[in-house]
Amino acid sequence: MKLLCLSNGHGEDAIALRILRELQQHPHPPELDVFPLVGEGQAFAQLENARIIGPVQRMPSGGFIYMDGREFLRDVKGGLLQLTLAQFKAIRAWVRSQQQSGNQDGVILACGDIVPLLFAWLGGAPYAFVGTAKSEYYLRDEEGPLAGKSRAFGWWGCPRSVYLPWERWLMTRSRCRAVFARDALTAETLQKLGIPAYNLGNPMMDGLEPENPAGFYGPDAEFREMERSLVITLLPGSRAPEAYANWLLIVEAVAGILSLFADRKLLFFGAISPELNLEALRPSLEFFGWRQDGEIRTQRREGSILRPPVSSAQEIRKESPNLLLPLTFVQRNATMILTQQSFNDCLYEADLAIAMAGTATEQFVGLGKPAIAIPGNGPQFTPAFAEAQSRLLGPSLILVKHPAEVAAAVQSLLRDPDRLQLIAENGWRRMGEPGAAARIAECLIQRFGGESSTSQSPTIH
């Protein structure tokens, strides 16, 4: 089997990469080609023996044209239409080359939204679709339609699915062998509409294991839990300059938390994208009274910044004397660590998050934890995006209007253990169990006629 993977965005590239890696680990791995339709597909450089089959180009919008018509016009001026036509021709040429060489096993895996799905259909080969962008939770939950949300789709009233009729048409073609929905609710809805949909989990939740799991269990576990800091992870997003503006709002919210929790030890982890400059975050911290602790600014790959229970940078150093810390700041009863590594640990060790991000917020919620979101000015994390994300994630995402409201939201959460349990179960249900990429890879091998190590389609238990 020879497989061409189409994807259209940074997050979609990352999900596709996880699936393709699992395919390469199969006893009978397919030959792989890739085609990132948005951006330059740098993630695929990590994949061995997989070539990019056609032209790629970074557009001015960075892939957020669906959020702003002006961004779309900028992309058009930047060559979007010419690029799209050239990409379509490259896909058709790939399919023809498979047919002319006598290879009847050429297939396409589309990862993202309607764009790669449409290209897969137009390509003329059998295809499968990983639907990363849409979920029924945008319209309904297990109890039924969300109040006022389903009617937002206009003249056809409450739609049968979050996927529009033309998207569903592409999924019901005979050459579409499998649709991998991002959650059980979406898969069940598509199955009722005659679509070969599978609920195998969300690859977003793969690979999030902590580098150094905390050893909370032991004879003094209860005492340590009472004594430890309240840990809050800060997720400002990854795209400059928006992330810097988001960071200012987050630091303002943190100031309120310091005031309300003046008698409790606090630890903040700033999970900062490697694409951003840590030094650019310093002025807002200093404005709100934070001062840098020590002069240790070097980072390295090995090890973790986390050794809970932890309450200060000094304790971290005591637990791990050979560890070089990222930027560390202190103020009163609180420590803040900004890191561009140990992302998984930042998610796992936190009790909650203040989040103005896309994928990172979903991953955090998927670990069963609450996130508090403050709408920003965009272009990504706008009030409309935040509202849609709150529908997607349900009670796990608490949406506030202003940074000043965050501290009270934190206090309300900590006072309600039943609500925290509901949030945990909700996050696990909506985002699924780890291991989705391996299950999807196994199903692809089965659906496209390859040999399999199991006799039945993989399922979520």
Please tell me the distance from the alpha carbon of residue 421 to that of residue 432, in angstroms, as a whole number: 16
CB 137 within 8 A of CB 183: yes
pLDDT score at 300: 37
Please tell me the distance from the alpha carbon of residue 397 to that of residue 326, in angstroms, as a whole number: 28
44: amino acid identity, one letter: F
| 3-state secondary structure labels for all residues of 339-372 | ECCCHHHHHHHCCEEEECCCHHHHHHHHCCCCEE
pLDDT score at 19: 97
Q: How many Å is the Cα radius of gyration of the chain?
A: 23
- DSSP code, position 57: B
Please tell me the distance from the alpha carbon of residue 211 to that of residue 128, in angstroms, as a whole number: 33
- Edge-first strand order for the sheet with 2-7 is 50-52, 31-36, 2-7, 106-112, 127-131, 176-180, 197-198
pLDDT score at 265: 95
- Taking the model in full, what pTM does it have? 0.85
Please tell me the distance from the alpha carbon of residue 106 to that of residue 81, in angstroms, as a whole number: 27
Please tell me the distance from the alpha carbon of residue 200 to that of residue 403, in angstroms, as a whole number: 37
pLDDT score at 62: 62
pLDDT score at 313: 47
CB 95 within 8 A of CB 105: no
- Cα angle 431, 436, 438 (rounded to 5 degrees) comes to 170
Residue 144 pairs in a beta bridge with 141
90-102: string of b/e by CB count within 10 Å (b at 16+)?
bbeebbeebeeee
CB 200 within 8 A of CB 292: no
CA-closest candidate to residue 304, choices 328, 327, 320: 320
- Cα angle 188, 189, 195 (rounded to 5 degrees) comes to 85
Q: How high is the mean pLDDT in each 10-residue block of the chain (461 residues)?
A: 93 94 94 92 89 84 59 75 91 92 86 96 97 95 81 55 96 97 97 97 94 53 62 94 96 98 95 91 96 58 39 48 67 94 93 96 98 93 95 98 98 97 98 96 89 49 43
- DSSP code, position 125: S
pLDDT score at 102: 76
pLDDT score at 64: 56
pLDDT score at 450: 55
Q: Token pair of 8, please?
A: 């259209």
Please tell me the distance from the alpha carbon of residue 203 to that of residue 408, in angstroms, as a whole number: 34
Q: How many helices (H) and strands (E) does the chain have?
A: 16, 17
